[in-house]
Structure 1
Amino acid sequence: MRREPTFARLDQLAAWHEQQADPLARPFRRGVEILEHQQSAALFRRMVGNRAATDPNRLNLVGMLPLDAPGRWCERHGYRCTVSNGSIGVMAQRSDEPPVVARLGDTLVWNGEKITVQERPGLVTPPREDDAMGELVQWLGDQLDEDERIAQAACWDEWSDVWTARPPQASYERYTVVDYLDDVVVAVTPENADADSVGQHVARHDPARVLREVGAKRQLLDASNADCSPACRRDHTFSGSCALRWMGPVSEIDGEPWVRNEDGRQVPAPMVTTKWTLRLLALSYADRPGYRAEWRP
């Protein structure tokens, strides 16, 4: 009679049942036997996870931890808890206090007054988006400064920033772009292109429009480069300066990406992120000195 192996720990026993339940490793095993090993493995994994959640002062976020264990542990200390299914990402919050965010491998610690996070050894918090793209932000700001300088230099008073295309009214007149006094800004005399198209293009890109675009793009830069609360270094939210930081953690359910909002609810992940926005802004200046190929979206 074959003897089953013995183990010193429950997690070892769970791993053995998981190995026995692998149909590729045991192709001749009957389906009912595979099912029994799967059920046994799940049971022992849950036992290990429940044991890990019994310490009221510390909770290690390990892969075998039942998904409901962090919630039960946090509720014990007056926190509501949201768990990211599949990655053991935990966000705990008490009343209106800033959320406490932890990931797989971290440890939740109760110090008698509040829950804190002890990061797993060797974990390096990734740089924030604005830190990683800092040089691109600086370069973009320089381009906008140059656009503004040139647009302002093209104006001779506070009303001369609006230009209008004026077709010739007689055979001896030329196609021109004029200012608010109907004075000629530039004569349009293309050798090959249509004069009206060129004139309309010049007028539509007058200093007033350039200055509006510079202002709008600067607001995007300010939003993407604004400081976040400490929690946003780990789990970006939707509020305040973080509006463009819907970076994650991004998870998937049936191929559909989603993130959690400030209330812990699952919402569809947005298509636009800070990094993507900055790269798209820089794309219009790709012909200027200093643009880098790695900045292309």
Structure 2
Amino acid sequence: MTATLTVAPAPGAAVVEQRPRRHVLGITSPRKLPTWILAHLALLLVVVAFLAPMLWLIFGSLHADSALTVELGGRWTLGNFVAVMTPETLWLPLLNSFLLSAGTALLTVVCAALAAYPLSRYSMRFRRTFLYTIVFSTGLPITAVMVPVYVLFATFAITDSRVATILFMSATSLPFAIWMMKNFMDGVPVSLEEAAWTDGAGWFDSLRGIVLPLMAPGLAVVSIFVFVQQWGDFFIPFVLLQSPEKQPASVSIYTFFSSYGAVAYGQLAAFSILYTLPIIALYGVLSKALGGGFSFAGGLKG
């Protein structure tokens, strides 16, 4: 015979219902399992959407008879890379692309830093309105202003000029670069500049010696953003640069499309891979700067 002892709760005491514990296997609970599956399916679709064109480029560049569809059982060769690796087809357009992109990135970063410093450090009456104007100006499509810009270039006889093209490309990149630079500059404490101001340093000395070195990762982000944007720009060089020897790779890629509708798919795929390699190398070199945060450990206020 077994006796059962039941303890009644005290009057007025709250009764807490004890539910069975839910055992968690791995990192997800059974209740969240469908959400986990949907999230990974969405990520898988994104990976496939980006991976499928890259696989076509790789297989198409190595296939002797490349077309819109690549047969895996065909003849494989490196002839497509050999055909495009000539000075006129590859090296000169890549050099032009580098000159335009690097020149635009350098000029944009310098101008954006000079414009972002007063917006970040000084209290101005129309600062918010000016910032909103900068952001809204980025939404203006470049195709809407290319006709008057071309007329302006033709009036001053500066068409087919790399320098004039770099100036205009820098002007189109400045609005978003100023906004990004201002946000990065806000992360640098003003207290780090007070010692320099006490010693008589001006705003330019403070910007050059304190702010810019501390926001080096931000400078790298803005530089890469502008460089990649102009590296893939087609419309501006296509309109403003007429000489084939001055056109970048984004425009010279048109040479693989004949006027009769035929396309050299194998050479086009090989050229696209070689055209993408400098950007991948740039990300690899500056990945440490992109992944690093601001370092204020060396900034001492004395």
Q: Quick check: which one's helix share is greater?
A: 2
Larger Rg: 1 or 2?
1
Choose between structure 1 and 2 for higher RCO, CA contacts under 8 A separated by at least 6 residues: 2
TM-score range, shorter chain: under 0.3
Q: Under a length normalisation based on structure 1, what TM-score does the superposition of the two structures give?
A: 0.24
